[in-house]
Each structure stands twice: as C-alpha cells, then as structure tokens.
Structure 1
C-alpha cells in the first residue's frame, strides 16, 4: 500500500459496546484510499481487543495500544504515525454516512482547500462556501453552521506540522481548531449532513447540554482558552479584533446567564470574574455591532443591575454633596462612552461634563469662545489639528465659515498630520518659523488642551517671535494641578508625626506641597519606577532641605514582581503598566517595604491605572494604620466604584470624599480619612 490520501484517526477508551459501530462505518466508506489508525487509550474493557480483531481482517487498520492519557495525547499518538495527505478525526461513539470521506475529499480537491467541512445531523444547511482563514474563524465562532469539534472536518496534514493537541487540557478541540483554521489557505464547507454526534454523560462536552455537569475546573479551562485565543487572533487578524473580543465576552455572558438562572454551585469565583470583565467592557461589548438582543437583555439583567447596586453602596457612603456630584459625572461619562472614553465628540464634551464640578475652573461658554473668535477680523493661525482642534474648527466653520478665509495656516505638534488638511487649509507639522514682523496683526488661536501641553505651545510660540498678546487660547485653562495637601479635611488633622507615601512621585511635587502644608513631616516614602525621573526627584529633594526621604525606584503593585511598563515619550517619567510595554521595572507591595512599627499617616497615589493593584499590596498597612488617602480614580472606567468599594472593605469607618480638578475626564481623586 502506498501513501494513503487520508489518515482516519479514532481514539477509543472503554467503548466495547460502541466501537464496532464506528469501525463498520469507516470500513463501509465509498472512498477507499485511507489508513485507519485506532488509538486504544488505556482501555480496561475489550475495546482494544475488538480493534485488534478488525486489524487482522483489514490491512488498512493499525491499532496503537498506550497507557491511559488525555484525549490530546492520544490524538497526538495517532498524528505521529499518520501518513496521509489529509487527516480526519472521528469519535468512537458517533456514526458517519458511507460517503463521508468521499464528500470531504472531493470538496477539498475541487476548491484547493486545506480544510473541508461537512454538516452534521444537528447542523444541516445546503450552503456551499469557500472562505479565507479569517472568514472561516468568524463563521466558526458564530457556531451556527459548524463548531470547533474535529469530526466533520478534513484537514491537510501539513497544517499539523509544529501544531499538536494539548496533553494537559480536556478540551483540546476549542484550543486547536482555531489555530488550524488560522493557518489554512482556504476553507470549504458544504452543510449536507454526513456525520452524527451522539451525546451522553461521559462526553467531555456533555456539560454544554447538561449544565449540572459544569465544574469550576471546566470553566477555568474554557476562560483561559478564550482569553489566549482572543490575544493571538488579535495579533494575526487585527482588523477583526472587535469580533474576537465579542466572541469571548459572548461566552462569558452566556455562562453568567446559565449559572445564575440554573443556580449552578461551585463556580462562584469564575462567576465573579466574568461579571467584572463584563462590567469593565460592557460598552465595548454592546457597541461591537455583533451583539444579539438577548445578550443585551442579559447584560441589563445580570450585569448592569449589579453595577447599579455596587454604585449605590459607594454613592451612599460619600461624605458630602460635592463628592456625589463628582461620582455622578464619572458615572455619566462611563455610561455614555466606551471604556477608554475615546468616543467623546470633542473637548467641549469634557468642558460641559466636568467644568461644573471642577475645583479650580469656572464653566466655559462655547458660545462666548466662538463669538470672540468670529468678531475678530485679523489674519490668524489655528494651532491644534487633532481631535480637539478639528472639533473646534468644525464649530467655528459652522458658526462663521467666511472666517476661514483669514486663516493662513493650521499648525500641530503631531508630525503624522503633516501634509493633510483641515477644511482645505494645509496642516504644517512641525510648525515652521515665519516672518512674524510681516504679520504684526496675526493672531494664533490655540485650541484647548491640558494645562501642561498648553503651556508648552505658548512657550514655543514665544520662541518663534510672537508676542504674548498675539496668542489667544480658545478656552480658559488653569495651570494648577491637584494639590492633595490642600484638601481641607486633611489640613485640619495634620500632626507632627506624619509619614507620607508618595505613590507615583513624578518630580516630588506632591511631597513638596505637603512639606508646605505640614512642616513637621517626619518621613516620606517616594515611589517612581525607572531611572528617567531620578535626577529631577533628587534635585527637588535636595532643594527641599528635607532629609528623611526613602526614594524607591519601583512601581507600587499588589506583589513583588517584575512589571512591563510603557515609556511615555512626552514625560521624563514612565507611564503605565502594559502587557507588552517597552521597559521592565520592579513592582513592590508596600506591605513588604514598610517597617512593621511605622505609623503611616498619609498615602497618595496617581499611578496610571495601577491604583487598585497597589492598594491590594498595602492592605495590611491600611488596616493597621488607617491613614489619610488621596487616590486617583480616573485612569480606569470603574475606578470610581472599585477603589472606594475596596477601601471600605478594608476600613468600613472611612469617610470618603471625591473631588475633580480639571475641565476634562482626568484628575478625579478619592480622599478618605477617619
């Protein structure tokens, strides 16, 4: 016998009453050019002996007897001895039609496909389609026409080079099939039913129909596979990233619904994890474009109601009305916009949403800004062409489009915008030097921005030769940042033995402010990861004249471990913890650093979204010392709920305040004290 066109691989374990049925199905195939590899996976009944009897009768059958292992290791044993151009996996308790192999092989040959798929008795559709790998994966995850199970599929053997089934997982199909389809040049399917699955209590997949069989171990395995699958598919097919994420979240909400409705016990930890993921990503899920109405209903029933309940508990714990206004503004922003707030229409959404609650700024009138701009008749340059600038330009154009006849250029700091245009006016980046003397009446309108960037732009324009009176900001922004030490309830209780923890000390600014407010400060712990900021911090420490500073070049975290950080090119400090950041730094749990007898009295943290993790790493200190807290609650969508909720779980008697310090989504702070 030469090299067979198909290797049929069947794993069997203690199926003496069923195995002959599937063997007879394969031997009755109209397609004859195959080898049949039966892997006896350590059976303790007569399954192996029955397979041996058939092997004596038909030379195409080979039987491998091995010690008991999982399904993946058994299938790998079959793959290791397979010689066929194509591989077909079948299960020992199922059946197939006589033309099963012929149908799949012909479908693959006619379409030059690396994978061909037929229908099953429970998935019948008279549709024929040839797909790319990305299309096939999308169809797979919808689970309407075919699923992840290998039976019903014929796979080019070359696709298994370097790819094998997991030998530790029970659910190898869901892990490997997407990888196989992802490597295929073409995938052809025709939904005529050529295979029949039989479900019974001993199937690994029986829990999908009998949910009482669901265990925490099973759910953990599925969640891991979905999570890893989303990650690698997003790298291979980034254009479909929202679809891959949707399918993962869809699985989660379906499991939340089943566990909750059926009262399934033993999966409480997994249920909590899935609910938290769906809470954090609910806007992404609902806005994906793939979601079904019943999934929206489940989100409302099982997720949003719970968020509302948690929010209410935090809201009721807030100590004053100003705190409740900040809470309401943050909640409104989360409800209206996606998890990263990228869908804000313009800077004016920021202003209108947050200016009223801002501790430093008065509310800015859009009408007065536009009116001031439109009534001027001077030539002008518009500085700022990104999202905020473009939004303002749109409003200016709508307010008085003739005003743009006086625009001699649009400038921006982002070099990627160079060569594009804004309402037909070329964008220049980086800005070029012009002969300002020839344009003594030129005005430069700078679009609203955060205070630091605004000040940088103004300083740059002055170096070009513009006069201060020529530079007009479209909006009023304070250069002040949040001064944690100024929070009035704190000022009333400062003592002589204050020990301050400056989490994310950046340039030591918060510590300097506290030294002014509390001159008898005893000690400072200052944390800043990376070496970029160290020179500035040490200089400011020296200038302060305060000697008892414990400067730690590390990131606050829930445990002592190395962390991947993203470097912020616009700052001398590192920015945020990222899965694939460009800098490796040490993370430390504060509880492992502080001396056991020290009474920590004040903890401040502004650490780019790592606040909750860092709080977990100082839980012992917080419980023991009950320090004053000033924690940023704006980096992640639900920080305004998660952080105060966690703090109150540690010290229920805390008084919790919230304050806001900008005209945009940033700079909301939670304060807490006894």
Structure 2
C-alpha cells in the first residue's frame, strides 16, 4: 500500500564522490519533509558507499541500498521497487534541487489532479546557469496537457523532455515499468511507456532542478554506445506507429535529426568506426526510409535540404553544415535562438 502524501526520491549513485553531498543535502533540506530518500549505491568504487551510510545514520527518512554495479537503469529499478510513497521522483546524483521543488510539485499535482508534473530546469555549469525560455517564461501560469498533446510533445522533445528526472510521478503509474538495462539514454526507451498511461500532465515553468553539465564533451568521449539514442527512438517509433500513428511523421523527423547528428559524430570519431560499419547502418536506414522521411520533413526546408544532400552523398551534407557554421561565425547568417544565461 502506497503512503498518501509521501514522496519517494530515488537517487542512483556511482562514482560521484565529488558531487554527492550537494545532491543529497538538497534533498534532505527540502521544505516538504514527508520523504522517503532511497540512495542506491551501484557498486561505486570510491567512498560513496560510506558517505551514504553516514547519511542513513543521521536521517531516518534515508534508506540505503548497496548492490553490485549494474548501471543507471538497474539502480533506478532497484530504487523503484523499494518506493512506498504516493509519488516518486528520480534525481541524478550529480544534480541538485531548489529547496521548495518537491513542495511545489506535490501541491500542483494535487491541485491539478495531474499524474505527472514537470518543472523547468537549469543547465548548471561551474561558472554559469542557463535556461531554455523559448516557449515559456518563469512567470507564466502552469500548462496542463492531455494525453495526445503530451505524446506529441514527448516525441519532439521540446516542451516535454524525455528525461526521467525533473518530474514528479504518481508511483502507481511507473511501479511496473522498469528501465531497460544495458543501454545508454535509457529514458528514451522508458518515457513513452509511462506517458501512455498519463491522463493529465502539468508543466511548471519555474526552474527548480539543476542539471549539472560536466566538462567532458560527447565529441571527446564518443563511443558506438551513443547510438543507443537512435535505437531508443526506433523502439519508440514502433510504439508510435501502433498507438499514435498520427505522430509518425513527427517521429520520423526526430529520428532523421538524430541520424544526421550521429553520422557526423562518427566521422569526427573515425577511430571508433574504422570500417564505417555504423555510418553505413545510418546511411542504409535513411535510404530504406527515404520516402517516409521526405514526407515527414516537407514542412521544414532546412531538413529537406539536409536530407537531399545526405541522400546524394553524406559528405555533401557535412560540407553544407561546415559552410553554414562558417557563415554564422562571420555573422553573415543568423544563429538559431539558444539558451539564456541567468542573471545576464
């Protein structure tokens, strides 16, 4: 039986000794105190195990799980199995929360009868905070989404994010939907299964979650495992075709964008794709689905152009992107609107 009003906060922990205090302290000092804080030590080789044990001794709301390393999905699944609260929230262990985040999200969930609440968030760097205010401003009123609008927004990943964190879920919705183990970008494999069950989804526009941006870039650390992002989108695409076929074109468009991005990343990191196997897989997918992709991008000239160039030869699109980047550097072409720096 889930305890009414209680929030189960699941924090998977692995090799974050440098950040763990900031994360846990931001949870235990929340203005909302009816918490169950589940710290999952995923076989961390540093001192995280001892640190979380110390926290458990000092706060009765904390429950520690020590387990053999199995990855982020496995750690979240172990934490979710132990959740006894009416609500569940996931927090990544290098991120942190505003003091009143949970209180605001619970109050809004109850008031709006929302199954899931999502807050805005900061992209947190060592020296600055950025926010995405392209669609909503902090002072805007919350927005309630129905199921079909929610699924569309999830697919295009603009207003509704695929991230598992930054949201408050009614536990009964997610308890029997485990994260897929052994993949990167596990949230993309998971989120649509949850959102299919959601009747009402609430968007809050106050940034309440700090999403920490580590200094190591995807270009420097790229491996073929990063292609799990595309695999997750393809798995979701099959789901969209079955249950929400009116959003098939939107799904194809997002897959194409990701294919083009990863083709270029594989080119930049040719040492991880020496024989070009992964690039050929991407090229084959685009060739096999060219007519569907052309239909999907017919309302977006930029993507139409990139798809045509790539279809002629992938390097043509690479050259085009390089030229566009150069023109933007010379301020001969306007830059797309990006993130806004807080306080500037």
TM-score (norm 1): 0.42
Q: 1:68 to 1:280 in 2, by over 3 A?
A: closer
User: Shift in Å at residue 307 of structure 1?
Assistant: 11
Match of 2:177 among 163, 175, 178: 163
Q: 1:7 to 1:252 in 2, by over 3 A?
A: same
SS at match of 2:162: coil
* Contact map agreement 2:222 2:269 (CA 8 A) in 1: no
Q: 1:161 to 1:54 in 2, by over 3 A?
A: closer
Match of 1:276 among 284, 304, 307: 284
User: Which position in structure 1 is the counterpart of 2:195?
Assistant: 181
Unaligned segments of structure 1, at least 5 residues? 309-674
Q: 1:93 to 1:161 in 2, by over 3 A?
A: closer
Any residues of structure 2 matched to 1:191-590 within 5 Å, and which? 191-200=205-214, 209-219=217-227, 221-260=228-267, 262=268, 264-267=270-273, 268-288=276-296, 292-305=300-313
User: Which position in structure 1 is the counterpart of 2:21?
Assistant: 20
1:150 has 2:175 as partner:
no
SS at match of 1:120: strand
User: Which position in structure 2 is the counterpart of 1:654?
Assistant: none
* Contact map agreement 2:150 2:201 (CA 8 A) in 1: yes
* Contact map agreement 1:86 1:156 (CA 8 A) in 2: yes
Q: 1:51 to 1:283 in 2, by over 3 A?
A: same
User: Which position in structure 2 is the counterpart of 1:44?
Assistant: 45
* Contact map agreement 2:119 2:204 (CA 8 A) in 1: yes
1:134 has 2:134 as partner:
no
C-alpha distance in 2 between matches for 1:44 and 1:305: 46
Q: 1:94 to 1:161 in 2, by over 3 A?
A: closer
User: Which one has more relative contact order, counting CA pairs under 8 Å at least 6 apart?
Assistant: 2
User: Which position in structure 2 is the counterpart of 1:62?
Assistant: 63
C-alpha distance in 2 between matches for 1:274 and 1:245: 13
C-alpha distance in 1 between matches for 2:246 and 2:160: 23
Q: How many aligned positions are there?
A: 299
Q: 1:279 to 1:170 in 2, by over 3 A?
A: closer
Q: In the TM superposition, what whole-angstrom CA distance separates every residue of 1:198-241 from its partner, at most 9, and x where no partner exists?
A: 1226xxxx6xx52232222331x233222221011211112222
SS at match of 1:130: strand
User: Shift in Å at residue 3 of structure 1?
Assistant: 5.3
Q: Highest Rg: 1 or 2?
A: 1
* Contact map agreement 1:4 1:35 (CA 8 A) in 2: no
* Contact map agreement 2:297 2:304 (CA 8 A) in 1: no
* Contact map agreement 1:37 1:64 (CA 8 A) in 2: yes
TM-score (norm 2): 0.80
C-alpha distance in 2 between matches for 1:18 and 1:228: 33
* Contact map agreement 2:184 2:225 (CA 8 A) in 1: no
* Contact map agreement 2:155 2:250 (CA 8 A) in 1: no
Q: In the TM superposition, what whole-angstrom CA distance separates every residue of 1:565-600 from its partner, at most 9, and x where no partner exists?
A: xxxxxxxxxxxxxxxxxxxxxxxxxxxxxxxxxxxx
